[in-house]
Chains A and B, each alone.
Chain A
């Protein structure tokens, strides 16, 4: 985008600029905050993943293997709550976006660096409050906390509700920060039609965070007050309506899943042009579709209430509206395919993950359209079909895209290059393992296996065992990837400033970047994917 490489200075960078744990814990630098988020989120991913492995291990055979049903209920509750609130929601925006967004804008930092650090500590506080319950009575309501059970269940529910409430503010502050940064701190020449699609994704995500998360906050607060004060709004015993809780809860939680996927799509939109060495196909359409998806996401929450007692009329309306989200999504997939077509493809790990994403996310999205159809949903709801659907989009979507982004930006974060072959091995284990784990669950759902049950009928055994085996492949993939990247941090080859030859601003400065991001004032003179005139920027490690 700009041709000021000659001014890049090496040596002092954000890692070695100041030393000691305090300089990290009290930093105001968005890059350091991003790295702290990254490590925390990955730690929570490990914990949530252990619960997942526990679930799959228990489901290896019918009957109870090593868990009692009460414990099983806690396993899937914590798996869900940790993965949703502590991993996937903050994942790409906080762990990647914090680092990359200001740099892509040519800015020195986000608009409000202190609120940025504060949002990290709010996140940590929420985690501690919620996860402390693992050492108390534990929660078994499912991550959705439906009333009236969540009103009456174990004492730990209060703390988990409180922890999630606290974490919501982290999400809100991050979103607020990003919106103002994008509005006010763009480098000269960075007009809206030159904004990288990753930033369009983060921007739309931030708007959703601002609008939806507060409703989660009031929902959790009211549920807390129900438990503590018995106010009665959601409690049928006192004249309240439990389905009203579901309306409140899903008004946030549906847009929340688009908080999870829009940044992921943004990463894919960055990776594909770089590794196809081609401009993105349909830039304006993809940017518009991003906001289209964000808007539609607020209109469809009732599809989680199809069998909860929602009226037939509302079922019809929500079903219709839900189908609409497939349109902008399809536009994006089409744009990605158009980018790859006749591109000069380099099969580095980021591209491998991106290709995996397109395949897996499409399956996930199409099964979503199936579930949006009320007559089908009535049979498939609360079965493994739903579980497979949302894992396809959340894991197959967000996690694969995250891994694409992590490998893509790894040289920028660390100044080192990861070993390519080992990374690819990890990627294949993840992609194949993921499909082996979750594809059988579509079939199990259609055959009638209910979700959130600690046991199942004997005829479901084979498919469950295949799925459990898949979970081990998935685990091997994640562990391999982790070991590879940790090794690369210590012993990786030195990466150049721009090993991929990308055109966005973050690559036009040192790897790792200096504290101030740029040693010059960046000026943007062309689009972020304008590869036609950029052969000279081809990096040495391409």
Chain B
């Protein structure tokens, strides 16, 4: 990288300093590029599944390398320029990799496992037997629905909320027939869905159980009143219908309600 100190006026060293790309080499490279183009089009007609993309990118990169090295003259240029140009791809890779590092791991935000309490259905409730629907529960569910659920499920529960457009699969249309509900439309099944989450639907396990039941009853009221829960259905999710609080060992959820109570006083 030293500087040349030439007396002014002598620019004739230009010719000796530069490599001239010969016509024959240029034509050969062009030929390779045409062949590779035909190859990539040909391969695209065959279904190789996942490999289509990889092969296409490989061929494109071969073409790109030929253009950079020969047409753009990196082969005969100062190494600096090649290093400078390659750096751009490193940072492009960083941009893409770290962004996908976020986008592809979004599902992990709602952790399944020990944080989701097993005793979820045994959580204490101010309502007696909250798995049985009542106007108070439905009213409470209505309130909760309109704060927590409308963004995705829409104001009438048709699965057409503003955030729904970007979701795949689509949020459930609560007026749809039972066959379209993945976990089924019984209240106990809905309770399971809202507790554990399903696909793009996050888990609401940290919401107090009575609130979850309220939501279930409200959502159920948006469609047909059937199917209802039988005692077997309730037993399946661990509720003893003869007890007011469903039986079980008591509160095992994250005691958010308790914490809020404590903080507010």
Contact = CB atoms under 8 A, between A and B. Distances in A.
A311 B104 CA distance: 8
A299 interface: yes
Contact of B94 (A298, A305, A311): A298
Interface string B1-38: 11101000000000000000000000000000000000
Interface string A283-326: 00000000000000011011001000111111001100000000
Contacts of A311: 101-109
Contact of B162 (A211, A236, A247, A312): A236
Contacts of B166: 236, 239-241
A424 interface: no
B98 interface: yes
Given A239-B166, A240-B166, A251 B101 contact: no
A185 B111 CA distance: 57
A30 interface: no
Contact of B163 (A236, A317, A318, A521): A236
Contact of A215 (B3, B5, B95, B98): B95
B98 A299 contact: yes
Contacts of A247: 99, 102
Contact of A183 (B80, B87, B88, B101): B80
A305 B88 CA distance: 24
Interface in A132-190: 183-188
Interface in B86-141: 87-88, 91, 94-95, 98-99, 101-109, 111
A111 to B, nearest CB: 12
A183 B102 contact: no
A19 interface: no
Contacts of A318: 98
A251 B102 contact: no
Nearest to A301: B98
A143 B93 CA distance: 27
A171 B80 CA distance: 22
B1 A314 contact: no
Contact of A299 (B5, B87, B94, B165): B94
Contacts of B95: 215, 251
B206 to A, nearest CB: 15
Contacts of B91: 211, 298
Given A302-B98, A314-B98, A211 B108 contact: no
Contacts of A305: 102
A244 B96 CA distance: 11
Nearest to A211: B91
A312 to B, nearest CB: 5
A215 to B, nearest CB: 7
Contacts of A187: 3
A309 B166 CA distance: 14
Interface string A390-422: 000000000000000000000000000000000
A186 B102 contact: no
A305 B106 CA distance: 13
Contacts of B105: 311-314
Measured as residues with beta carbon below 8 angstroms from the partner, the interface class of chain A is 20 to 34
Contacts of B1: 183-184, 186
A237 interface: yes
Contacts of A302: 98, 102
A456 B132 CA distance: 45
Contacts of A309: 106, 109
Contacts of A228: none
Interface string A94-136: 0000000000000000000000000000000000000000000
Contact of B88 (A185, A188, A211, A251): A211
A238 interface: yes
B120 to A, nearest CB: 21
Given A188-B3, A298-B91, A311-B109, A236 B165 contact: yes
B165 A237 contact: yes
Contacts of A184: 1, 3
Contacts of A314: 98, 101-102, 105
B99 to A, nearest CB: 5
B245 to A, nearest CB: 33
B101 A317 contact: yes
A305 B105 CA distance: 14
Interface string A207-246: 0000100010000000000000000000011111101100
B98 A317 contact: yes
A317 B99 CA distance: 11
Name the residue among B3, B111, B162 with the largest chain A CB count within 10 angstroms.
B3
B108 A313 contact: yes
B220 to A, nearest CB: 28
Contacts of A244: 99, 103
Contacts of B111: 312
Contacts of B106: 309-311
A307 B104 CA distance: 17
Contacts of A186: 1, 3
A313 B87 contact: no
A188 B5 contact: yes
A49 B104 CA distance: 42
A409 to B, nearest CB: 25
Interface string A237-265: 11111011001000100000000000000
B165 A238 contact: yes
A247 B166 CA distance: 17
B78 to A, nearest CB: 10
Contacts of B162: 236-237
A188 B5 CA distance: 9
Among the interface residues A215, A241, A311, A317, which one has the most CB atoms of the partner chain B within 10 A? A311
Contacts of A183: 1, 80
Nearest to B94: A298
Contacts of A211: 87-88, 91
Interface string A372-383: 000000000000
Contacts of B88: 211
A302 B111 CA distance: 20
A188 B4 CA distance: 9
Interface string B62-87: 00000000000000000010000001
A299 B80 CA distance: 24
A324 to B, nearest CB: 14
B71 to A, nearest CB: 22
Given A186-B1, A188-B3, A302-B98, 9 more contacts: A183-B80, A186-B3, A311-B101, A311-B103, A312-B105, A312-B109, A313-B101, A313-B102, A521-B5
Interface of A: 183-188, 211, 215, 236-241, 243-244, 247, 251, 298-299, 301-302, 305, 309-314, 317-318, 521
16 contacts: A183-B80, A186-B3, A211-B87, A236-B162, A236-B163, A237-B162, A239-B165, A243-B102, A247-B102, A301-B98, A311-B101, A311-B103, A311-B104, A312-B105, A312-B111, A317-B98
Name the 5 nearest CB pairs between A and B, nearest first.
A314-B102, A311-B105, A313-B105, A311-B106, A247-B99
